[in-house]
Amino acid sequence: MSGWSSPHLLGMRGLAREAIEAVLELAARRRPHAEAQAPPLGLLAGRTVANLFFEPSTRTRTSFTLAARRLGAEVIDYAVAAGSTVKGESTVDTARNIVAMGVDALVVRSAHAGTPVLLARHVDAAILNAGDGAHEHPTQALLDLFTLREIFGEVRGLQVLIVGDIGASRVARSNLWALRTMGAEVTLCGPPTLVPRAFEALGARVAHRLEPELERADAVMLLRIQHERHRAGAIPSVREYARLFGMTAERAARLRPGAIIMHPGPIHRGVELMPEVADGERSVVLRQARNGVAIRMAVLELCLEARRRG
């Protein structure tokens, strides 16, 4: 487990290549235990993981829960309704209280960027960021790296095209940091209202038209478009967005041989992905979901081991 030393996974920004490699390698070893019918491991027996979700997210929560259970850990759901506080209690107090009950790790989802960092500073537990505002969603980026490596052998040198609401997307941000660290080239694509030029300073190319980008991409990662974006005037309409940036069968046919189509889910069929593409050969959407469990097994194990050591 060399390469990993932190009891927390807060974001991909600043995470060393060696640390990422440690996660990917352990995830590969745990991958068989993330399958249906696979026997669970007892590596985290006696440990307790609490899902502290200030925003609802059945999918990510389920993936972390299955990961923890397959390592033998106990899992507690600590869902916090609507507002991001418990009856006026501060977020740090809520977390400290849960941890005082004998919890080793908190998996945190919050609408506010920075909540996991805040908790890592003030709470005595391993903190795993399961998405904080528009900031980071590191396990998503790690599972995407894992999927790319599984398919292409190597992430270095890959051309990755991320399409969608980049400015508001924690998935895009975490993937940008992760892919750059691992040596991939990243192009961010979408209308100017959703993809600010400022991202160029972070090492990405920015493109406002999809067609010219198709032929050079090894992987196209499509992100969800929120209807709210339409109401806020950032896009003329969801239909118009789909026409300009949706992955149609025709566009998919123009991708390189072997190029893949990714989506963090849940898929909005007919908007980002046309049904025939979602179910087509290039789509690795379900493989991403499958790999997510292995990645979360690895990060739970690495963070709790680092915490135990010191």
Write out the residues near a second copy by the rule CB under 8 A: 34-40, 45-48, 50, 56, 58-59, 62-63, 65-66, 69-70, 74, 76, 78-81, 86-90, 93-94, 96-104, 125, 224, 265-269, 278, 285-287, 289-290, 292-293, 308
Which residues are CB-contacts of 192 (< 8 A; sequence separation ≥ 6)?
208
CB of 273 to a second copy, least distance (A): 10
Neighbours of 161 (CB within 10 A): 24
Closest CB to a second copy among residues 126, 255: 126
Residue 270 near residue 229, CB atoms below 8 Å: no
CB of 175 to a second copy, least distance (A): 19
Neighbouring C-alpha atoms within 13 Å toward the C-beta of 152: 22
| Dihedral angle sign, alpha carbons of residues 111, 59, 33, 285 | negative
Which residues are CB-contacts of 85 (< 8 A; sequence separation ≥ 6)?
91, 94
Closest CB to a second copy among residues 227, 254: 227
CB of 117 to a second copy, least distance (A): 19
CB of 268 to a second copy, least distance (A): 5
Closest CB to a second copy among residues 60, 174: 60
Closest CB to a second copy among residues 63, 129: 63
CB of 209 to a second copy, least distance (A): 26
CB of 50 to a second copy, least distance (A): 8
CB of 291 to a second copy, least distance (A): 9
d(CA 121, CA 247): 42
Closest CB to a second copy among residues 60, 175: 60
Closest CB to a second copy among residues 15, 34: 34
d(CA 23, CA 199): 26
Closest CB to a second copy among residues 208, 290: 290
